Structure 1
Amino acid sequence: MAGTKHDTKNSITLKGSAQLVSEFFYFGINSILYQRGIYPPESFTYKQQYGLTLFTTTDEGVKDYLNSILKQIKDWLEAGEVQRLVLVVTNVDTKEVLERWDFNIQHEPSLGPLSSQEGKVGSKDLKIIQKEMRDVIRQITACVTFLPLLDCVCSFDLLVYTHQNADVPDKWAESAPCFIANSEEVRLKSFSTSIHKVEACVSYKVDA
């Protein structure tokens, strides 16, 4: 029976997968905010993650905002109630939406009905998952080479798409979808934990 010990070595639980995905969103969102210059570079610090040097905000207000939303997203990931996370970049003066970073979230169908997922585990190696996450982060960084320059003061907002029956906190409000007129879209790579799959793309405004 000595060979049975490795059977659960790479197992990822539903809670573990939700933690990995919400953690990815934290670093992914911070990378977008840094690379797109939404906040000045001196308001970021760096950290090693996924084998990369990534920048994260030191602004307490932004950190609190991100942590609050991502804690809720982690709960929704565990409940199978979240479908999409969208980061919207807006011109502060005109309120025009300039970029829309879209992260589509799927629960892997191989795990059966959502109601029975609690005890499910995935079998994907953590190193492979982190490599896939690293590839997406690298693409976010590379996007700077072709995305239009943001030569105005910008703000960002996060939109979360949930199932209709999701338990939504009172302080959350309905939002417009913030689509971009006259836009182009670039698909980024996806990653999978074997429980959740995340597909990313960015839409951006093209000058008429």
Structure 2
Amino acid sequence: MMISRQDLINLLLDFIEVWIHQILYERELYPTAIFSLKKKYDVPVHMATHEGVANYISKFVESLQTLLISGNCKFISLKIMSPMNNRILERFVFEIESALNESNLDIPLDTILDSEVTCSLADIQQQLRACLLRTAGTRSSLVNNPSDCTFTLGVETYSGPPSSTHQQIDWIPTQSDQQESQQHQRWNHIIPIKTIPMDLFKINVFVIEAMKKGKHVSR
């Protein structure tokens, strides 16, 4: 089954939302009781049912649509923060290389979005399924975090801050991932999760773990 490139963007947004929920479950950011077991791409996934958490993630993902359409979305990241000093302990990264950010595109954007993708829906779903499975598999490669960690969602653009027009979330400027990596933050290692080719997009998914996470608190 073939789909349009606009459908591809919608599919990618849907996946990012599931991916965020799954990370929150795998890294134990909330009690397991607030998660509901569902199935996506024939993979069991855990989705947070707490209204505040679910709405926050949903609004964040909705706000990415304009950035994806314009090709201005470089990194999407979920950062897990220490409860003691707000230091970043882990950064799950969704790096996006987009053909839509080419300044010399001579085809109207609407025409591109209405055209069919060059890969089948089944192929795309297989790639997304593998990414979810490998994201869950990172648990065994990461050191446990302290209890009561917090998290933040962020996006880095290629050019300028995200526009507030039609956005569902108030963006707060922060340091870029590169700036944080260059300043005071020492990393233990990078764990590649999956490279996903998706027609207009090439996506690299990985997690970076801090060098020291502090005293381990068992759950």
TM-score band by shorter chain is 0.7 to 0.9
Alignment correspondent of 1:95: 86
The 5 Å alignment of 1:35-74 reads 35-74=26-65
Give the structure-2-normalised TM-score: 0.83
| Residue 119 (structure 1) aligned to one of 75, 91, 111 | 111
* 1:25 maps to 2:16: yes
Cα drift, residue 74 of structure 1? 1.5
Give the alignment's Cα RMSD to 1 decimal. Answer: 2.2
Correspondence for 2:75 among 79, 84, 97: 84
Q: Distance in 2 between matches of 1:193 and 1:138?
A: 18
Rounded Cα–Cα distance in structure 1 between residues aligned with 2:161 and 2:208? 27
Q: Which amino acid aligns with 2:111?
A: G
Report the number of matched residues. Answer: 198
Q: What TM-score do the two structures reach when normalised by structure 1? A: 0.87
1:191 equivalent in alignment to 2:196: yes
Percent identical pairs in the alignment equals 20
Q: Distance in 1 between matches of 2:207 and 2:160?
A: 28
Q: Distance in 2 between matches of 1:59 and 1:106?
A: 33
Q: CA deviation digits over 1:154-205, x for unaligned, max 9?
A: 1110110123256522821101234441331011112132122211110002
Give 2:207's aligned residue. 202
Q: CA deviation at 1:108?
A: 3.5
Unaligned 5+ runs, structure 1 = 1-8
**Structure 2 portions without partners, runs of 5+:** 214-219
Residues 88-138 of structure 1: CA deviation (Å, up to 9, x unaligned): 0001222111000111111147x9728734312312110110110111111
- Counterpart AA for 1:150: N
1:151 is matched with which residue: 140, 146, 152?
146
Partners of 2:21 and 2:46 within 8 A in 1:
yes
Give 3-state SS (helix, strand or coil) of 1:119's partner. Answer: helix
CA distance change for structure 1 residues 93 and 166 in 2, over 3 Å: closer, same or farther?
closer
Contact 2:193 2:205 in 1 (8 A): yes
